[in-house]
Amino acid sequence: MRRWYRFAAVTLLALAMMPALESSRGIAQPRAHVYLFRGLADVFSVGMDTLTDELNKRGVYATSHSHTDWKSIADKAAADYKSGKEGPIILIGHSLGADAVMEMADYLGDKGVPVALVVPFDGTQSFPAPGNVGRVLNFTQRDYAHMRPGPGFRGSLSNVDLSADHSIDHVTIDESPQLHARVIAEVLAIVGGRPLAAPAAPKPASIAAPEPSSVGGGATKSGAGSGTSIITQPEQRGAPSGSATPVTPPPRTPAQIPD
């Protein structure tokens, strides 16, 4: 009889715990999201669509969008981050899409949402890196489109000058297999790395991406396995809030590159 009572008590306890167990199973873990943005008229940025496919094939959730839609997408991304649905957030864009990801990163900072990585492909102008961004990797052919640390930025910033590589122009830079490989490596390092830190300031620095190899002082190095020459400006580290100084690239004759 005692055994029966004991069995009944264990059964009732198990039944009582089932709703709690089911509830815990229903709590989804945040999903990393890579947002990619195309440039003018969505015509000349097919490399962003290709990179989106390459990331999805590697198990990273990535979506491709028009640069004109960045603000509405940012609003949804902020809501999804705050509800625990997604994170870390990574932004990549080409041409006007490159401008859009810098603006979107700043906009998300105003909403207290961290951005792990921002990768502009040949943007049309220079932007300050906001304080909520962990890393900026800027591929550019234009000396006037170098990114610079903004107020509160404590992440890492690399301006990769591709003006010496005549096999790449503004229209094809987003299709470069070598640049795709580098971006994929950076993304995978973040997605498979440490958990996302919660924002602590209006534009907090959250995730610092792993340090890529870089060359100091405008030295030349070869792209992996391609023979492609690229010039990497010295990697910039964010200064304490209020003391950031714009980075002035070395003088050169700007290439004539169509927008």
Q: Which amino acid is at 139?
A: F
Q: What percentage of the chain reaches a pLDDT higher than 90?
A: 60
Closest to 108 measured CA to CA, from 71, 143, 136: 71
**Mean pLDDT of all residues in 146-159:** 97
For 211, residues 6+ apart whose C-beta sits below 8 A from its C-beta are: 156, 235
The reply to whether omega before 88 is within 30° of 0 (cis) is yes
Question: What is the average per-residue pLDDT within 83-88?
Answer: 96
Assess whether pLDDT exceeds 90 at residue 258: no
Q: Assess whether pLDDT exceeds 60 at residue 103.
A: yes
Q: What's the rounded Cα separation, in Å, for the pair 63 and 115?
A: 16
Q: Does residue 60 register a pLDDT over 60?
A: yes
Q: Looking at the domain 28-237, which fold is it?
A: Rossmann fold (3.40.50)
Nearest-angstrom CA–CA distance, 52 and 37? 10
Mapping DSSP to helix (H, G, I), strand (E, B) and coil, where does residue 78 land?
helix
Residue type (1 letter), 209? A
Per-chain mean pLDDT for the chain: 78
- The pTM assigned to this predicted structure is 0.70
